[in-house]
Structure formats: C-alpha cells, structure tokens
Structure 1
C-alpha cells in the first residue's frame, strides 16, 4: 500500500470552538489528535489518483458535519465526516489520606545511638585489622602514608572547608535578640516534632489534667492569653495558637512547646507568690518557644555529635583493649557535656530570662517580682535540704546568678513597661519587702535557736543541782509525794517561755 500522509494545521470548527491541532494520516484507518486521546471518527477516503511525490495544496472546507481537504488539481479529495468531539468517560478517583512524614529531628534522635554503634564497630575493626598485619606490611603502610602526606593533608583541608561552608550556610538570626546562631533544623521541622511531642504528653498526663472550669486552669489561661495579646508585634507569637494544659502534680515545672502547647504543673502554681511571678514564669517559657531554643540546641548537639563520632572512632581504633576504649568513650562524653551541652543550655536559659522579662513588662506585670521568685526557690531548696550543685555541673544557672542577672535587667524592663501604657507600680519594691521579710525570719530563727540553747543548758543545770533520787521515798499516810527535780525540770521550758 502506498503511504500518503496528510498534515492538517490547527482548525477551528465553527461555533463549537473544538480544535483539531494535528491530524496525521498515513494510509491507515486511525486518526490521532494531540494532545487529546484518539478521536473515533468515520473516515471516507476518496482518492482518484495518487503519487509518492504528491504535495497537496488546495482549500479546506469546514462545516459542522464534516471537514474536507481538496487539492488544486483535484487529484486528492479527503473528507472527515460525522466528526464529533471526544466524550471523556467519567472516572472516579479515590485518594487515601496524606501520610505524615516523620520530622527530621525525630529521625536524628532515633539514629543517634546507631551512629555511635557504627563508630564503635568501625574503630574496633580498624584496630583488629592493624594488629593482624605483619610487621613488614605495617612498615609499608607507614611509608605509603608518608609519601601521600600532602594528599591526605589536602583532603583534610577540603573537609574543613566544606564543614565551614556548611556552618556559614546555616546561620540564622535569633528573634527579639538578633543573635547570630547555627540552625541546622528549621522551625517547620520542630513544629512537626512538637506536634508529636504534645500528643505524647497529652497521652501521658490524660488522667492528671485539670478541667478548663477549674480556677487554676482559668488563671493560667488568662495569663498566657494576656501575654500573647500584649506581644502581638512579635510574629512568632501572633502566628501560634496557645493552648493551656494544667497537670495536677507536685512537680515545680512548666514548659511550652514550639507549637504553642503550654504545660504547667500545680506544684509551680503553689511555688509562685502572686500573679506577677506567674506572668514572668510564663514569659520565660514562651521565650523558649518563640526564639526556637529547642531547634537551636538540637542543631548544636547534632553538629557536636557528628564531630565527636570521628574522635570516638579514633578512641576505639587506638586503645589496645576494649576496657580502655570504654573508659575513653565515657571521658569523651563527659567532656562534651561539660564543655558544650551544659554551658550552651545555661546560655539559653539566661536569654530566656531576659526575653521573658521583656514579655512580662509589655504585659504590664511587675517585673521586679522576677528576681524574687528565684530568691524564693533558693530558700525553698535550703529548707528542703537539697544539696547545692555547682553551676558548671547544671544545665541551668544557679539561683543566685539568676537573681543578679535579673536585677541588672529590671531597670530596662521597667522603662519598656512605662512605654506600653501600663498602670503605675506601687512604690514598695517587692525585692526590698522580700529581703526585709527574710531578714526578719532569720532573726526570729536565731532568737528561737538561742532560746532552745538556753533551755538545753537549764535542763542540764537542773539535772546536776537536783538529781533524781535513786530510791523513791515511800509516802507515809497523810503526807504529799515529793516530786523534786522532776517538777523543776518539767516546768523549766514553760518558765522560759513565760519570760
């Protein structure tokens, strides 16, 4: 069969606006239309003469029922009759619900132990491989390393360059404070992780959650919403919905997740003295959330962990025995904690105190109550007999250092509060009142201690002067019993108290 190909340009078919972009017919009974699917049509081919070198030129006649192509010479007449637009069959699509991807920080937390295990296995394998080598091969390896020392140094320099480039491309500016920081995990990643964490906490505390009708819940709700309303100029606060959950428990703790889920224990409500201290505490926790301290701390921990894996591999490769390698790994972990993790955590806590004081000032709270809270916590720890931990061993600043830092920040916070159309504060400074109350309590305690010492001495003196008889006298008929020193000793405390 001779092949005849006819290419029709784009045609507009009357008022139906149906377009036929390209029809290519090669002597077969299939009509193809692009980009739509094949169009079923009835093709009537009327051919009176054909030639392999024929180039059709002529006219095109378009009508609602057919399309015809006629050449000038009349040698070729081709018509498409009964042309109908394609009818698309009805399709029903069923889609499943979107799967929630696991956040990147959560994946890192799961892979963190696996990374250490891989480093330990790698280092131990290198050590066993080296010990199994004969002396001549060890010497050859040393010579090979020395000959390629510049290549190895260049590789190390290139690695340091890429690490530095990674750091520079992941720098971010902290909200409110404007501090430059390293941020490997984005705020969006931690929003997803916060949702997972909030669901876990709600499941854990579901039996201890206080209902919203409880007055304690209502107080915390008002404080949190007031803080959010008075700090709407901060995008990280206005873009989050703050939800309060009060947990019935003696723990003195409160925390806020980056997605605005607020958790506070009733032990914290009992620890604060007034609404101003509660506002400061909530401002402190809100500062952690809006600045993104969780993402920042996880980013630094991630980088330090990756760098420490190199040292961990070297420890297991160099140490001759597994026991020494375990000891070296323990020392490395402690050094990472005391040199990086805990100092950085204390720095973030101090920054949260600063920003939280500003948030409380804009909420018209008495910011002078902030230092008083930490003074109360210090005295409470002493009364409970809790040991004082050195600050360099803790993830939080000591109570005394927090009081000193907040005292330095109070004048600036008071000035900020004055510019927020807040009512005037009372002239009595709560810090002075608290100091006077503590001084009075200490004086009373010292007086009580002196009284107890005097009572003890008087008791001892009474026992010496009026010793108890070894054989109690037998009372005769009509005589009164002789109490002697027992009566004097028992009435001594009451006499001192009367004085």
Structure 2
C-alpha cells in the first residue's frame, strides 16, 4: 500500500517537472530567471501559485534551459540584473519623489448647510411637489374608464387591512420620531418638541446678524454714544446677575443700537442684540428697558427660534399631505386654490399664531425673573404695556383681536404680568437687592392717566359751554377745530406725557 502511494508521488513530480520544462522551452523565461545559485522570485499573488514557487526554490536544477536554447548563464544573469536594477530605480523614483513646496496645499473644509436653512429652502418646494402630485392624481383618475375605476375600488377594498396596517406603522414611526426628539426647556422645565438643535441655528443666526449689520450700517450708533453705553451696561448687568444660568454664560452678548423710529428690539440666538432708538424713547424709565431687554434675551436663552422652527416643520409635513389630498379631490383648479388658501389660514390661526403667543408669554415670565435678579423694579413692566396701549390709541392704529396676532394683547399682558409681580418681588428680595420705594409705579401711572382724562374732559365741557353761549348770542361760529392726532409714523413722547410716573433713571444695584 505504501509503495503504491510513493510511486504516485513520484509520478506527480515527474509530470510537474515535464510541465515546467515545456514552459521553459516555449520561452517563458521572464517568469523565473536563474543566476547561478541566486533566484529572483516573483510575488505569488501576481505571477504564480505557491506550489510553483516551492518547486523553484528546491528544484532549481530542473529549470535550467536545455535543447536549442543557447544562452550563457553569465549573460542571462547580467541581463536580469540590469532589468531588475532599472525597475527598482524607476519604482523608487516614483514612490520617493517629493513634490515641490509650491504644489503642496490643503483645501478648505467643506461645511454643511445648517438644517434650518435647508428646511427654509425646501419648504416652498414641498408645497409645489404636493400641488403637482395631487393634480396628477386627479387627472389620472378622471382619465380612467368607469370599469377600471370600479376595479380599483374593489382592489382597495380587498386590501383595506393591509393598507390600515401600513398606515398604522407609519403613524408609529412618526410618533417614535417625536418621542425621541422631546426636550426640556432650560429655565422653565417645560417639555417641548425640538427637531432642530440650538447649535444648528448658530450659523444661521451669524449670517442673519451679518445681514442686519449690513442693512443698518448707516444707522448704527457709535459705541461711544451715551445711549449705546447705557444699553450695553444694562445687558452686562443682566448677564452678570444671571450668570448662574448656564445658557446665559455660554452666550457672548453683543449690542447694536440702531437710530430708527420703530419701537422694537430683538435678540438673535447667537447673542446679537439690536435695539432701536424708538424703543429708548418709548420707555419711561430704566426699569422698563431692563424688562424689555430681559424679555428679548429670554427668547435666546430658551431657544424659542429652534422650538418654533421644529413645530413649523412638523405642521408643514402634515399640511403637505392635506394639500395633496385637496388638489386630488377638488374637481377644478379654482376650487383647489380656494382650499389651499383656507388650509393655509387654518394652519396660521390654529397652530402658528397661538404657539407664537405662547412663546411670548413664556418670554415675559422669564424676562421678569431676569429683571428681578438684576434688581430692577419689576412693577414697571406692566406700566410699559399700559403705555403701549395708550400709544396705539394716540397713533390711530387699529385694534385687532388677539387671535389674529402673533403677540398677546396689551391688556392680557398687563394682567399676566400683574400676576407674576409678587413672585418676582420675592425673587428680587432673595437676591439681596436694595428696597424699592413704597410708591408703586402702577398706582402713579393710574393716577396720572386719571388726571389727564379729567383735564381733557373739563376742557371739552368748557368748549361745549362756550359754543352754546355763542349760539345763543347769534354769533357766527367758525368751524370746530379737531384735535390733532399724531400721524401713523409719528412717535408720541409718552415719557413726557407721563412725567409724573417716571422713576429714577439709574438702575438700583447692590
């Protein structure tokens, strides 16, 4: 048995040697070249199998050229060495070649666009795609013959349970997405939906701040102006007195005072503060301005911009489905346009504006806390909104219902702030602030308004009596002079009218 096994091995060796000798006769000398006792073995993975490489190493004597091939070993060795050296020099030159210093450079990092900016760009495209899809479905359905419509209804009915399961699975995935993106408000502790993080808004806020700076570059007040210094001092005081809030310390606050008549002030998520001089003229004292700045800074601290964009994104996704159904069901484009308009108004009045009013009320609450810790007289906050109500009446601005506005009405704000005043006063007392004057600015404002109204009423009665006397005397009366009403863009000086309610113009500090 063993003799037969060894005889088979010998036969296999003879076959392999004969094969290699035939390959050598065919001129395949480039695969393996022999130089005496030295061998250059090619890599098995590129040229030959491991078994062939093993035979080259151990049986090199069988690989020598025979027969009609008349090549001397020395010339073969010299030719092999020359080709090998040339190949190695070329390979090393390609690998170790160092490019010139002028060709070496690094490209800038490619930054992805912020998610809110992408959403703002895709938002109108979503509605356009929904309109095209719904209109295409309606045209397709109207072009179907009656028998195919009936077949499609039967097909839908037979697969109603599969469709129900698919819809339930989609709702489950959406609910899971909402649950995994719930967040807690940093100051109030309210649970909210946050699809976009506040960090995603920083780049967008930076570009927005640059755009505003470019827009107001000719109206910006110099930092050396007393008005700019006053606003910057109040912002620093608010930041210093509320440094225990992590979000307050994480933001670098930058003040920009714009020379403009609008009664407005706003803060971007990255801490860029823009205050118009119209707001500085509208406030009656420094405490009201502290509350206004605290209110605007509260928006940035809580991250209301990210929260509002998240809810708007969800509402838009749901409205896209409704918009597609409207354009698919309505028989004509005119009715679809009407349904589209109604759907947009319902989204505004049922979701967008109520949520905006909710965020404004929360900013009022947090702004009161920030102002209280800064040792401001928080009672002046309600006086400011009462002044704004009188300003609207004097300027002739129409009074619109609250459900049509993105902000609470002045009266509702006054009532809400009055409820928050006791708690804010307690917080102020715990912060080791100096005592407030016993005279409540709300009472002073109320008495000042009453005196003003009584004076106007007495003046009207005197003019009426004078008119009646002249009529009895038969004197030709001139046309009655209508009291002048400030124009729409004019700025009534509430601080001058309500001078008796003005408090000291310095912020009380510890």
Fold shared per TM-score above 0.5: yes
Structure 1: segments with no counterpart, 5+ residues: 5-24, 31-48, 54-85, 469-484, 487-499
Distance 1:279 1:370 in 2: 9
Q: CA deviation at 1:88?
A: 8.9
The answer as to 2:317 corresponding to 1:306 is yes
Deviations 1:110-150 (A, max 9, x none): 11111100000000000000000000000000000000000
Q: C-alpha displacement at 1:87, in angstroms?
A: 8.0
Cα distance in structure 1, aligned partners of 2:39 and 2:377: 89
Q: Please list, as runs of the form range in 1=range in 2, the aligned pairs for 1:329-368 lying within 5 A after superposition.
A: 329-368=340-379
Match of 1:252 in 2: 263
Structure 1 stretches of at least 4 aligned residues deviating more than 6 Å after TM superposition: 1-4
Deviations 1:3-55 (A, max 9, x none): 89xxxxxxxxxxxxxxxxxxxx983499xxxxxxxxxxxxxxxxxx95269xx
Q: Distance in 2 between matches of 1:238 and 1:50?
A: 75
Give the equivalent residue in structure 1 for 2:469.
458
- Match runs of 1:133-282 below 5 Å: 133-282=144-293
- SS of 1:250 mapped into structure 2: coil
Structure with greater strand share of residues: 1
Q: Deviations over 1:363-414 (max 9, x none)?
A: 1111111111000000111111111110011000000000000000011111
Number of the residue aligned with 2:294:
283
Task: Structure 2: state its 5+ residue gaps.
Answer: 1-28, 44-55, 61-94, 479-510
The residue number in structure 2 matching 1:27 is 40
> SS of the residue aligned with 1:187?
coil
Other-structure match for 1:407: 418
Quickly say closer, same or farther: Cα 1:351–1:87, change in 2 above 3 A: same
1:373 equivalent in alignment to 2:384: yes
Distance 1:321 1:456 in 2: 65
- The SS at the match of 1:376 is helix
Task: Map Cα deviations across residues 189-239 of structure 1 (whole Å, 9 max, x no partner).
Answer: 111110111111111111111111111111111111111111111111101
The count of residues paired between Structure 1 and Structure 2 equals 398
What secondary structure does 1:330 align onto? helix
Whole-Å separation in 1 of the counterparts to 2:470 and 2:229: 55
Separation of aligned partners in 2, 1:206 and 1:96: 33
SS in 1 for 2:266: strand
Q: 2: CA distance between counterparts of 1:3 and 1:231? A: 83
Q: How far, CA to CA, are the matches of 1:91 and 1:402 in structure 2?
A: 70
* Contact 1:391/1:397 (8 A) holds in 2: yes
Structure-2 residue corresponding to 1:482 = none
With normalisation by structure 1, the TM-score equals: 0.76
More helix by share: 2
**Contact 1:3–1:52 (Cα < 8 Å) also in 2:** no
- Indicate if the aligned counterparts of 1:105 and 1:190 stay in contact, CA closer than 8 A: yes
Could you say what secondary structure the match of 2:387 adopts?
helix
In structure 2, the residue corresponding to 1:262 is in which secondary structure?
A: strand
| Residue range with higher mean Cα deviation, 392-401 or 379-388 | 379-388
Higher normalized contact order (CA 8 Å, seq sep 6+, divided by chain length): 2
Q: CA RMSD in A?
A: 2.3
